Structure 1
Amino acid sequence: MRKSKIQAANLEGDADDIEAAFYDALQRGDVDRLMACWADEDEIFCIHPGGPRVVGATAIRATFEAMFADGGSVRAWPERARKIVAVASAVHNVLERVEVLAGTTPSVAWVIATNVYHRTAQGWRLVAHHASPGTTSEIQEVSDAPAVLH
């Protein structure tokens, strides 16, 4: 496997920095920068909407290379996120706005993704990305959070 240079490393940063680098690389169709966001672990995994579980950096890289093969015709932007952060891990549940170029007209859909980050010796890194298909209209959030804080 060809190792990416650790371009996303920011030892002083946090999981938000890696998430920003991940989505920036997605928008640019830059596989090297995208893979630099991932941890150097054998058991990292990625699940694209409706797809199988893809395990390991080589397999994950191949799925993104295939996605970008048509000149980067898939773009994803994080719109809203819910975050749980601990000392050495963070879980972000992200509402993604995804644009797919089919012919000359872009199609927009919504995807719900869960990104899991761990703090490693190289800084924060992505260890799991699980994306589920949403709808063609913005997804409404259902929450049992109280309307008034006491």
Structure 2
Amino acid sequence: MSAPNGVAAALLAANEAFYDAFDSGDIDAMAALWAASHPVACLHPGAAPIMGRDAVLASWRSILSASTRPAIQCLQPQALVFDEAGLVVCVEALATGRLMASNLFALERGAWRMVHHHSGPLNAPLPATPDEQRTS
């Protein structure tokens, strides 16, 4: 389902705030992005699923406090909105390679809050973006 521009823009802004919190190592900002009244889950690359808000935030606290936290750039985010849920699929660019991520959000008190993050290896080439097609 295509989203009205304002709804999709708000969803993409919430997704961007997630990566900003990661990049800055801000656990308070990260915690504020995760839903408080919906069930949540997280699948970090190569790790077992993490269920529940407390466990998910503990995993982020550990990652964000690490001195070796990688820099991640969110590329090609695509937003899909389904009533009170939204999905952003994107590429996570790291110095060591690229991952695919899906970030699921739910509306909570009028704001998009993350309920699921899944990031894993990218094993297939990405289709060219319109910008890449023009420069080829």
Q: Same fold (TM over 0.5)?
A: yes
Higher fraction of strand:
1
| Aligned-partner Cα distance in 1 for 2:37–2:120 | 23
Letter in 1 for 2:44: H
| Aligned-partner Cα distance in 1 for 2:93–2:22 | 12
Per the TM alignment, residue 87 of structure 1 is displaced from its structure 2 partner at its CA by 2.5
Gaps of 5+ in 2: 1-8, 129-136
Letter in 2 for 1:134: L
Q: Which residue of 1 aligns with 2:125?
A: 140
**TM-score, structure 1 length as denominator?**
0.71
User: Given the superposition, is the C-alpha separation of residues 53 and 38 from structure 1 closer, same or farther in structure 2, using an over 3 Å criterion?
Assistant: same
| Aligned-partner Cα distance in 2 for 1:19–1:92 | 7
Q: Secondary structure at the match of 1:129?
A: strand
- Contact persistence 1:15–1:125 (CA under 8 A): no
Between the aligned residues of both structures, percent identity stands at: 23
After the TM superposition, list the runs of 4 or more consecutive aligned residues in structure 1 that deviate by more than 6 angstroms: none
Which has the higher Rg, Structure 1 or Structure 2? 1
Q: Which residue of 2 aligns with 1:85?
A: 81
| Aligned-partner Cα distance in 2 for 1:53–1:87 | 26
Q: Which residue of 2 aligns with 1:123?
A: 111
Q: What is the root-mean-square deviation of aligned Cα atoms in Å? A: 2.1
**TM-score, structure 2 length as denominator?**
0.77
Per the TM alignment, residue 39 of structure 1 is displaced from its structure 2 partner at its CA by 0.6
Q: Which residue of 2 aligns with 1:31?
A: 27
Map 1:77-116 to 2 at 5 A.
Answer: 77-98=73-94, 107-116=95-104
| Aligned-partner Cα distance in 2 for 1:24–1:40 | 20
| Aligned-partner Cα distance in 1 for 2:50–2:37 | 13
User: Given the superposition, is the C-alpha separation of residues 87 and 42 from structure 1 closer, same or farther in structure 2, using an over 3 Å criterion?
Assistant: closer
User: What is the total number of aligned residue pairs between the two structures?
Assistant: 120
Map 1:62-77 to 2 at 5 A.
Answer: 62-71=58-67, 73-77=69-73
Structure 2 residue 6 is the aligned partner of structure 1 residue 18: no
User: Given the superposition, is the C-alpha separation of residues 64 and 113 from structure 1 closer, same or farther in structure 2, using an over 3 Å criterion?
Assistant: same
Q: Which residue of 2 aligns with 1:58?
A: 54
Higher fraction of helix:
2
Per the TM alignment, residue 18 of structure 1 is displaced from its structure 2 partner at its CA by 1.1
